[in-house]
Amino acid sequence: MKKIGVLTSGGDAPGMNAAIRAVVRTCAYNNIQSYGICEGYKGLINGKIHPIESRGVSNIIQRGGTILKSSRSEEFYTPEGRKKAFKNILQHDLDGIIAIGGDGTFSGAAIFNKEFNIPFVGIPGTIDNDLFGTDFTIGYDTALNTVVEAVDKIRDTASSHNRLFIVEVMGRDAGFIALRSGIGVGAEAILIPEETTYINQLIDKLEGDRNGRKSSMIVIVAEGDELGGAYEVAKKVTEKCPKYDSRVTVLGHIQRGGNPTAMDRVLASRMGNAAVNSLLEGKSNVMIGIVNKEVIYTSFENAIKHHDKLNMNLMNLAEVLSC
């Protein structure tokens, strides 16, 4: 290994810059030239590849987003697009590539590796925390803290006006953000894609809280909830209980931004270092993960195929603590 490329693909996540920094500096420590690939697979196709020196990643560990930019490339999923990418890899003499992203990123890497035998190693960078093979993904902890900070402020105004706030968080296919943030803010109810939403049960719960004279009520809804998100939930609640003074807040992409937490910075640093070391050890087609505080390797196929499952004990905990 003399030259290693690094890219970020798909949705950005706080901590990606910390991972880039770790990759570049681990390469420098091992006398390897690192190359930044701008705009993910799109940049690999268009030849947006440039060398990065150790000093080039100074002062980025605390920054959200990604200095390499990101994108979702439909062209990379075509044979013609991948051939263009392969030509650019050969032109720059890259011996391996580290891809930071989620399941779409790893799916593309697996296909490319099979066709052209270019070593790929993945680093899980997604706020959804839904990849199999790691306890936490880069960006998840920061997103949780962003949600908690926002909902704490919403709780202040909800208490001042005896209102019901229905807050939508990210999670189209998984409820990891909704579940943990819901516990963290003391939500009265948490609605997630993995569980059936029974609107009558929700109403009964809210009525019980109202009769218990709670000064405010917060419902956390994952965007992939089966009713269709916070606005649909609010509509159903209002239809059945027009007496509620309810408001909807959709946190949206605010959850992807902001300075990464210390946990995400350390996690990203460990994973970036491990990704370079794994290429030096001859590993390929694997995702770096940390399970029980130890670095492990999971094949792209398993990381994509077997999505991590929610800890349903946390759902029970949320119900107990919301009474």
* Separation CA 265–CA 34 (nearest Å): 20
Q: Which two tokens stand for residue 148?
A: 């908690």
Contacts 24+ apart (CB under 8 A), 280-286: 280/1, 280/30, 283/119, 283/121, 284/96, 284/113, 284/119, 284/120, 284/121, 285/109, 285/110, 285/113, 285/119, 285/120, 286/121, 286/122
Same domain, 48 and 192: no
Residues 35 and 107 in one domain: yes
CA 55 to chain centre: 27
Residue 307 one-letter amino acid:
H
**24 is a domain residue:** yes
Enter the tokens of residue 68. 């390499």
163/280 same-domain check: no
- Number of structural domains, the chain? 2
Q: Kindly state whether residue 65 falls inside one of the protein's structural domains.
A: yes
The H or E element containing residue 104 is: helix 103-116
86 and 168 inside one domain: no
Is residue 323, in this structure, part of any structural domain at all? no
Q: Is residue 81 within 8 Å of residue 117, measured between CB atoms?
A: no
Say if CB 177 and CB 144 are below 8 A apart. yes
Buried b or exposed e, range 190-212, using 16+ CB within 10 angstroms: bbbbbbebeeeebbebbeebbee
Please tell me whether residues 129 and 10 are part of one structural domain: yes
Here the tokens at position 319 are 């119900």
Torsion of CA 67, 113, 297, 50, to 10 degrees: -20
CA-based nearest residue to 103, from 133, 83, 75, 67: 133
Q: Could you list the residue range(s) of the whole structural domain that residue 27 is in? A: 3-139+260-305
Do 17 and 101 lie in one domain? The reply is yes
Helix or strand run (H / E) with residue 165: strand 164-169
Residue 322 within a domain: no
Q: Which two tokens stand for residue 61?
A: 């560990």
Q: Is the pTM of this model over 0.85?
A: yes
Sole residue written with tokens 């605390």:
62
Domain of 115, CATH number, reads 3.40.50.450
9 and 117: one domain? Answer: yes
**pLDDT for residue 264:** 98
Residue 293 CB partners (closer than 8 Å, separation 6+): none
pLDDT by position in tens, the chain (length 323): 899 999 999 889 999 999 999 999 999 999 999 999 999 999 999 999 999 999 999 999 999 999 999 988 888 989 999 999 999 999 999 999 999 999 889 999 999 999 999 999 999 999 999 899 999 999 999 999 999 999 999 998 878 777 789 999 998 888 899 999 999 999 989 999 888 777 888 888 887 755 556 667 899 999 988 888 899 998 988 888 877 778 899 999 999 999 999 999 999 999 999 999 999 999 999 999 999 999 999 999 998 876 667 778 888 888 888 77
Residue 170 and residue 26 in one domain:
no
Q: Is residue 223 part of a domain?
A: yes
Q: What are the phi and psi torsion angles at 149 (to 5°)?
A: -60, -40
- Any domain includes 318: no
Is 82 part of any domain?
yes
- Report, as residue numbers or ranges, the catalytic residues: 128
